[in-house]
């Protein structure tokens, strides 16, 4: 067992280099001002007060949440029926449909977004609608697959028992299938909402620069203006919000599983 435990070391080194050190650098930059040759670090909270004192930045944050929430709701509305229908097909047809759903995901998301840019560019629709189309297209498969997986793991004897007790198809779905599929829905919400709220290249490519989100702000301050301190502060705020969102969804998932166990 000890010999196998040594296999963890490369992953620990990789996580330290690629995750821990960058996060520590973000925290350091967020609480410091831009230095020079004489004064390198000067700790301050001015970067955070600047974010919340200016009405523009909270409004961009709210716009990002609005986009992520609406995208998630659309993915639930489309993804749940799609996942449910696929789960009711025969096994060989399920494999084909799942392959078709996941096939576009084999292509890089940036390439797919560029393709949608060419498709939606000539259409006389607003930048916001174009961004929503791109968001739903890129994240919908995650919702479908989560719902599908949750429903296919369900014990078919439960459906048989519900039918033996006199439940019709609607009652069986409402009282048996829907509650047991909630963990899949919550997992889909996690996989859709969290990347959607921090996405930056989809709004940039499809919005044409007219639809700025929090991810675009972070990119702008890191790449264009070179203000890494303020960009790190915004990144840290987003990281905290994402951690809170993950905690809430994890708690909801745990509560739903406890109800399922009862």
Question: Closest Cα to residue 198, out of 242, 141, 134?
Answer: 242
pLDDT band at 79 (very low <50, low <70, confident <90, very high): very high
- For helices 178-198 and 56-87, give the axis angle rounded to 10 degrees: 140
Q: What is the model's pTM?
A: 0.82
In a domain, 45, yes or no: no
Stretch 196-225: mean pLDDT, rounded?
Answer: 83
The structural domain count of the chain equals: 1
| 119 has a pLDDT exceeding 70 | yes
CATH number at residue 193: 1.10.3720.10
How open is the CA angle 220-142-59, to the nearest 5 degrees? Answer: 35
pLDDT band at 37 (very low <50, low <70, confident <90, very high): low
Q: Residue 2's pLDDT is what?
A: 57
User: Percent of the chain beyond pLDDT 70?
Assistant: 92
CA distances from 226 to 51, 141, 209 (A): 17, 36, 19
Q: Residue 259's pLDDT is what?
A: 54
Higher pLDDT, 212 or 53: 53
Structure confidence by residue, pLDDT tens digits, 197-209:
888 888 888 887 6
Q: Among 25-29, 36-40, 67-71, 241-245, name the one with the lowest average pLDDT.
A: 36-40
Stretch 174-199: mean pLDDT, rounded?
Answer: 87
In a domain, 124, yes or no: yes
What average pLDDT does the chain have?
Answer: 85
Structure tokens at 113: 């977004």
Q: Residue 262's pLDDT is what?
A: 56
Q: Residue 154's pLDDT is what?
A: 84
pLDDT band at 172 (very low <50, low <70, confident <90, very high): confident
Q: Residue 194's pLDDT is what?
A: 87
Q: Residue 212's pLDDT is what?
A: 78
CA distances from 62 to 68, 126, 249 (A): 10, 19, 19
Q: What sign for the dihedral angle of Cα 196, 202, 204, 207?
A: negative
Q: How far is CA 115 from the centre of its chain?
A: 21
Q: Residue 255's pLDDT is what?
A: 66
- How far apart CA 199 and CA 128 sit, in angstroms, is 14
In a domain, 46, yes or no: no
Q: Residue 81's pLDDT is what?
A: 94
Q: Among 39-43, 106-110, 184-188, name the one with the lowest average pLDDT.
A: 39-43
Stretch 212-228: mean pLDDT, rounded?
Answer: 84
In a domain, 27, yes or no: no
Q: Residue 135's pLDDT is what?
A: 93
Q: Residue 223's pLDDT is what?
A: 82
Q: Residue 176's pLDDT is what?
A: 84
Task: Note down the domain range covering 208.
Answer: 55-261
- How far apart CA 49 and CA 45 sit, in angstroms, is 6
Stretch 47-56: mean pLDDT, rounded?
Answer: 87
In a domain, 44, yes or no: no
Structure tokens at 52: 């919340």
């Amino acid at each position: 067992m000890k010999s196998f435990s040594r296999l963890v070391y490369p992953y620990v080194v990789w996580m330290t280099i690629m995750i821990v050190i960058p996060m520590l650098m973000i925290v350091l930059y967020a609480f410091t001002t831009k230095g020079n040759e004489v004064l390198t670090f000067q700790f301050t909270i001015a970067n955070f007060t600047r974010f919340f004192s200016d009405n523009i930045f909270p409004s961009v944050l709210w716009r990002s949440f609005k986009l992520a929430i609406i995208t998630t709701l659309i993915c639930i509305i489309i993804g749940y029926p799609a996942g449910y229908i696929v789960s009711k097909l025969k096994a060989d047809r399920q494999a084909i449909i799942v392959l078709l759903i996941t096939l576009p995901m084999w292509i890089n998301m940036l390439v797919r977004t560029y393709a949608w840019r060419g498709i939606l560019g000539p259409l006389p629709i607003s930048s916001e609608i174009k961004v929503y189309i791109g968001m739903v297209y890129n994240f919908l498969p995650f919702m479908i697959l989560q719902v599908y997986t949750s429903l296919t793991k369900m014990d078919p004897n439960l459906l048989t028992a519900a039918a033996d007790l006199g439940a019709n198809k609607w009652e069986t779905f409402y009282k048996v299938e829907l509650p047991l599929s909630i963990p899949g829905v919550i997992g889909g919400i996690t996989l859709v909402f969290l990347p959607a709220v921090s996405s930056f290249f989809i709004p940039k490519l499809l919005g044409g620069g007219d639809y700025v989100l929090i991810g675009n702000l972070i990119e702008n301050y890191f790449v264009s203006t070179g203000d890494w301190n303020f960009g790190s502060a915004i990144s840290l705020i987003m990281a905290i919000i994402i951690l809170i969102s993950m905690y809430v969804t994890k708690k909801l998932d745990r509560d739903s599983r406890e109800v399922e166990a009862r």
